[in-house]
Structure 1
């Protein structure tokens, strides 16, 4: 089943994990909304620089360090995703509390590992 996913912190650099995540998600037939600092494309998925409001977001996959996440708190809450995945290096107790308060599941995991092990 396809899970509409927002990748926050998407990169055009193939060595970055966010790039690999966009590619792996789209290869696994998940609808991907990629948001990054620079416009471009990864695996036919456009990377946009503005916040995109969509309905029925299943997952937000974070690839931003905690200091850079703060500007997106309201955006994440506005999306009302079912869950937020905190990839390695993105762990953020302040955002955990906000998610808990809004009944949004948090998962401290790696999107790539979840995909590879059929746990996504």
Structure 2
């Protein structure tokens, strides 16, 4: 069963939305893995700085601008998540279309709002 959320663009900076999202995902007792530009730890979740072959990814939540996403297209599609959430500032019609072509749900949404309204 797929039940893991991958946060891409994860940051140890407490002012970054990806950091806040990790905290709120933990608060909802969701399983999380995180990928960022630097290794670190946020609320006990290790941030990897290398793409790994994560298993059981249900949701990828993106905190990268569209230009930075390009190098992740094949990687994310290869993980075969159920859905990818494009958080504000991450909207990317090109990648959105690629995901749809690969039968992966794509949403322009805000993970923080989805969590606060129990729509995640």
In the alignment, structure 1 segments of 5+ residues that lack a partner are none
Aligned to 1:78: 78
Give runs of ≥4 in structure 1 deviating > 3 Å. none
Instruction: Provide the secondary structure at the position in 1 that maps to 2:68.
Output: helix
Aligned to 1:114: 114
Structure 1 Cα separation of the partners of residues 3 and 42 of structure 2: 18
Q: Deviations over 1:21-74 (max 9, x none)?
A: 111111211111110011111110001101121222110000000000000001
1:3-42 → structure 2 map (5 Å cutoff): 3-42=3-42
Aligned length: 119
Instruction: Provide the secondary structure at the position in 1 that maps to 2:96.
Output: helix
Aligned to 2:90: 90
The CA RMSD over aligned residues, in Å, is: 1.1
Structure 1 Cα separation of the partners of residues 27 and 48 of structure 2: 19
Does 1:66 pair with 2:58?
no
Shift of 1:99: 0.4
